[in-house]
A and B are shown apart, each in its own frame.
Chain A
């Protein structure tokens, strides 16, 4: 597949503040790429650079095979959807949708045809005559998506489009965006700090921190094989258990307990690493009670706190003197203070060099 958006060596400074530095990113045609990261890591900045709303300090941006680094936003073949909707308040929905087309001097019939198509796709036909003030948040965001839709662009840019909406609406619109992507097959770049959105929508996720892409991979790999401690801790809820220990040979020693990790899938470049490590185990990979018996690593622990979530339950215990969470079915009978048998499989765990915090 041909690349749709290529970012080469992009740097961006606000005065002396370096927000993005030597960033490289290739996005395939028709791919849904999610930029995920904590607040202030430069996601919006990157998106604004791609849109042409910010001048780069260095580097190049190519869209659909053309170098657009110096091009105006409108000449880049992009459409953008903002968190705050950014609908023109004094224009009706219809005029909001047609604004870009009118600016481009398009014929009336063609404008009407495109608006009808977008309105049908987003189910906003009954709203066309209304002003944005008379719409609900979800409807506003649909109109905002429609504004990008009518312009028939190659690349959609979304900047946290759902974060102003309540949880239920967010889930609905999330599915709708996915449906839209299946139907249009455009390239989409989607900024969020909601990991559920990222995992459910993305073909690939780019996890960012401090303006640097930490890991760029499909959701499965991001979840199961995080490349460093930051990614491991950022993805997953409740977050991964981290156990400090020392690796010697194929055994991790943590607070006097030996954990055999010969089943662990070491990265090829690790070699015969030994020294301080962090062992990461996802709470949902921990087995409780009977089920623990089949696990390679087993231990007994006292249950301190129970958090019932409805669908499942999170229990807080300790392992090797450190906090340890597990997640189990809500039907499992649990009681605070109870002694529990827990087990996990190192093959599903992650291990990180304590010094570099890289995966080993």
Chain B
């Protein structure tokens, strides 16, 4: 202790200790809830929410009212006499042009169009994307560029040629024409989606499978596909909503017997006979929008799970 250097260091340390005792910051930093930023943020979110939910509210409320109540009441008021008649009528007996069977035939037509077109376009696009990434062939880059270019051409430009093609194939005015058209138009964007996804997987996985002796299909089904759940779900959401909401192709290619739900909805809402039945229109509109909505809810959850499962590092 006779060493002056040691003594002076100790004094310095004591001084630091005193300083430390004075300080009050310790542990997790407090996070006040009401900060200016938060208030602004939440106000904007609430306004945006109301903006989207209000029309939906009006629709739901109106669809459960009777016509006299709609005519004389306030549109924001909840139904006085709660009735599901409008829904039943929209589904089973509203007039869509010549027939009066409601939306139900249109619903089943839409389902018949949806299922094959979604399955075929997604599967073909998955194989396309896989081949473009892992089995490069001469000209595969050019092939891909052409495919992508295809997705930028407006639909309207291709309608007339497609009408001729489907006529020549003898399927114009049938459900198969719509299915074919949806398959063709879904292909570019889905291929791009799958190609980018497969390109993000480590290429060594593919090489290892090659060394193990697996061929094109074996690698696709046993290695690539089990890892693609997240992207398959994304593709399904895109295709289901896109095809379900389609109006143009349905009107042009399906033929009167096979009109999809969207076209029949339009026919109900725009029908000229009688006074407009707002409650039926609202119910029909909600019914038509229900399928994409349900898909969002179901697959949204699957989607998150899929991403979690896909985040496995090999």
Please list the residues of chain A having a beta carbon within 8 angstroms of any beta carbon in chain B: 48, 51-53, 72-74, 78-80, 82-90, 99-100, 103-104, 131-133, 144, 147, 151
Residues B213 and A89 in contact, CB atoms below 8 Å apart:
no
Residues A90 and B212 in contact, CB atoms below 8 Å apart:
no
Which A residues lie within 8 Å of B223 (CB)? 88
Interface residues of B in 199-241 (CB under 8 A from A): 202, 204-205, 207-214, 218, 222-223, 226-227
Which A residues lie within 8 Å of B205 (CB)? 86, 88
Q: Contacting A79 at CB < 8 Å: which of B211, B226, B313, B314?
A: B211
Shortest CB-to-CB span from A57 to chain B, Å, is 15
Residues A90 and B211 in contact, CB atoms below 8 Å apart:
no
Known: A82-B204, A84-B204, A103-B218. A89 touches B314 (CB 8 A): yes
Residues B211 and A78 in contact, CB atoms below 8 Å apart:
yes
Residues A104 and B213 in contact, CB atoms below 8 Å apart:
yes
A82 to B211, CA, bound (A): 11
A104 to B209, CA, bound (A): 12
Which B residues lie within 8 Å of A103 (CB)? 212-214, 218
Shortest CB-to-CB span from B218 to chain A, Å, is 6
Q: Please indicate which of the listed interface residues A78, A79, A85, A86 has the most CB atoms of chain B within 10 Å of its own CB.
A: A86
A191 to B214, CA, bound (A): 24
Residues B214 and A89 in contact, CB atoms below 8 Å apart:
no
Q: Which residue of A lies closest to B226 (CB)?
A: A90
B298 is an interface residue with CB less than 8 A from chain A: no
Residues A147 and B313 in contact, CB atoms below 8 Å apart:
no
Residues B314 and A132 in contact, CB atoms below 8 Å apart:
yes
A52 to B207, CA, bound (A): 10
A144 to B205, CA, bound (A): 11
A78 to B207, CA, bound (A): 13
Residues B202 and A84 in contact, CB atoms below 8 Å apart:
yes
Q: Contacting A99 at CB < 8 Å: which of B202, B207, B214, B226?
A: B214
A295 to B313, CA, bound (A): 56
Which A residues lie within 8 Å of B202 (CB)? 84, 86
Across the A-B interface, the 7 shortest Cβ-Cβ residue pairs:
A74-B213, A100-B212, A86-B204, A86-B208, A90-B226, A89-B312, A82-B204
Q: Which residue of B lies closest to A82 (CB)?
A: B204
Residues A88 and B312 in contact, CB atoms below 8 Å apart:
no
Residues B207 and A53 in contact, CB atoms below 8 Å apart:
yes
Which A residues lie within 8 Å of B209 (CB)? 88, 99
Shortest CB-to-CB span from A232 to chain B, Å, is 34
Q: Please indicate which of the listed interface residues B208, B213, B313 has the most CB atoms of chain A within 10 Å of its own CB.
A: B208
Residues B208 and A80 in contact, CB atoms below 8 Å apart:
yes
Residues B211 and A85 in contact, CB atoms below 8 Å apart:
no
Residues B213 and A73 in contact, CB atoms below 8 Å apart:
yes
What are 16 A-B interface contacts by the 8 Å CB criterion?
A53-B207, A72-B213, A74-B211, A74-B213, A78-B211, A80-B207, A80-B208, A83-B204, A84-B204, A86-B202, A88-B205, A88-B208, A88-B314, A89-B227, A103-B218, A133-B312
A79 to B214, CA, bound (A): 13
Which A residues lie within 8 Å of B222 (CB)? 88, 99
Residues B314 and A53 in contact, CB atoms below 8 Å apart:
no
Residues B208 and A82 in contact, CB atoms below 8 Å apart:
yes
A74 to B213, CA, bound (A): 5
Q: Contacting A53 at CB < 8 Å: which of B211, B227, B312?
A: B211
A79 to B208, CA, bound (A): 9
Known: A88-B223, A90-B227, A103-B218. A133 touches B313 (CB 8 A): yes
Interface residues of B in 173-219 (CB under 8 A from A): 202, 204-205, 207-214, 218
Which B residues lie within 8 Å of A89 (CB)? 227, 312-314
Residues B211 and A73 in contact, CB atoms below 8 Å apart:
yes
Q: Which residue of B lies closest to A148 (CB)?
A: B211
A237 to B142, CA, bound (A): 49
Which B residues lie within 8 Å of A72 (CB)? 210, 213
A147 to B208, CA, bound (A): 9
A85 to B218, CA, bound (A): 20
Q: Please indicate which of the listed interface residues B209, B210, B211, B227 has the most CB atoms of chain A within 10 Å of its own CB.
A: B211
Residues A87 and B314 in contact, CB atoms below 8 Å apart:
yes
Residues B312 and A82 in contact, CB atoms below 8 Å apart:
no
Interface residues of B in 234-282 (CB under 8 A from A): none
A253 to B268, CA, bound (A): 103
Which B residues lie within 8 Å of A74 (CB)? 210-213
Q: Which residue of B lies closest to A151 (CB)?
A: B212
Q: Which residue of A lies closest to B311 (CB)?
A: A133
Which B residues lie within 8 Å of A83 (CB)? 204
Which B residues lie within 8 Å of A53 (CB)? 207, 210-211
Q: Which residue of B lies closest to A100 (CB)?
A: B212
- Apart from A72-B210, A74-B213, A89-B312, 19 more pairs, CB < 8 Å: A53-B210, A74-B211, A78-B211, A85-B314, A86-B204, A87-B314, A88-B208, A88-B209, A88-B223, A89-B227, A89-B313, A90-B226, A99-B209, A100-B212, A100-B214, A103-B218, A104-B213, A132-B312, A147-B212
Q: Which residue of B lies closest to A104 (CB)?
A: B213
Residues B312 and A90 in contact, CB atoms below 8 Å apart:
yes
Q: Which residue of A lies closest to B218 (CB)?
A: A103
Which A residues lie within 8 Å of B226 (CB)? 90
A106 to B77, CA, bound (A): 73
Which B residues lie within 8 Å of A84 (CB)? 202, 204, 314
Shortest CB-to-CB span from A141 to chain B, Å, is 12
